[in-house]
Chains A and B, each alone.
Chain A
Amino acid sequence: MIRGTIVVANEICKGCELCITSCPQESLGLSDRINSIGYRYIVLVKDNCTGCVNCALVCPEAAITVYREKKSALKARESAFVASGGLSV
């Protein structure tokens, strides 16, 4: 599966949780910390983000930046997976 990650602008996140409900991977949760405007902000709680962009689309603060694995990196990872006998990556 393709890998991705997000960067959240913690200081403008208002913890509305709309990204949490829109994440198909259930990768997101609220931080334990509170930002300077008084909200628990969004953090990745699992390492299974695919970079699908859903969270960023519904984010009312435009606080989320999304990155996704390059095609070449994915290919390399897949070949490594096959070469290793499919045991691990």
Chain B
Amino acid sequence: MIEHDQGATLMKGNEALAEAAIRAGLQGYFGYPITPQSEILEYLTAQPKGRAGVVLQAESELAAINMVFGASGAGARVMTSSSSPGISLMQEGLSYMASAQLPCLVVNVNRGGPGLGTIQPSQGDYFQATKGGGHGDYRLIVLAPSSVQEMADFVFEAFRLAEEYRNPAMILADGALGQMMEKVILPREGSLPYPPKPWATTGKPASRERNIITSLFIQPEKMEQVNLELQEKYRRLQKEVRFEAFQVEDAEILLVAFGLAARIAQKALELAREQGIRAGLLRPITLYPFPTAAIANLVPNVESLLVVEMNAGQMVEDVRLAVNGQRPVSFKGRMGGMIPTPEEVLESIVQIAERTHTEQVERS
């Protein structure tokens, strides 16, 4: 449980996240400017010397993630932040960190792509975030905030998970969450303890063997063993699944959406209910591990599902795996920095409701 201060303040998502990182005991930040997340680096560099730990503007995202690698290996609580093109540049480093089992927090304030794309909000990096992103068999722990409050809270949660499981964790936000101002109650400073890190390269005392941090296991037998350990870790991670459900008890149409799209879906749900369509919403909070079982458990009670995303349909694939062909799964998305409106989503819900109704009539 995250402990909070008393009293709310009005803050931008990026700044709330940066302030929360300091309160979570940040010891090192290495980053490179990119819209729409540069406020994180700016906020941290503006702090009194030492308050945010080491804060360094790197020469590139490549350098930044490798500084994070070194600093994490040295035992520090470290993070970086970027937006989509910069996160792409960090994928090699994240693969190395996952293999070397180094904890860190990576914040992706997702913007529209592919390519240089646009600076407007998007969820186009879902695949990259949840399926590994770089080379080899690995996963990041992925948390998806949908409010400024969660931008702050999930920093604590991500650091805790990253350090407990010795794995990079990602907060997958988007340009809107980063830029919007909302009321936030900040987490309490110093409330996240530092776990011991006996594996860190801090200099070898005579009392122990040298510590080596590497992702190189040249013998295939050893490399397979490391892979098996990683897979076992990902299985253990399943117990950290988090999601939120709204009005699913009587829902005939289940909406599934994360992050900003979940806020829009929730509004659409209210509009649908006003028209007498019983819609519910499941919002995955952890995108990896994915709430597969939670969705599967709801499937027998609903007629149809609608996945709402700000991309061409990425999480919908995981939802379909959870549903396993038992119900129709529809998709409503906008791409390239466009945000779907609640009315657009409502339109999709109405269509599905009408179709479901027709089928029911035909069946009877």
Tell whether any CB of A sits under 8 Å from a CB of B in the complex.
no
A contact residues vs B (CB 8 Å cutoff): none
List residues of B whose CB falls within 8 A of some A CB.
none
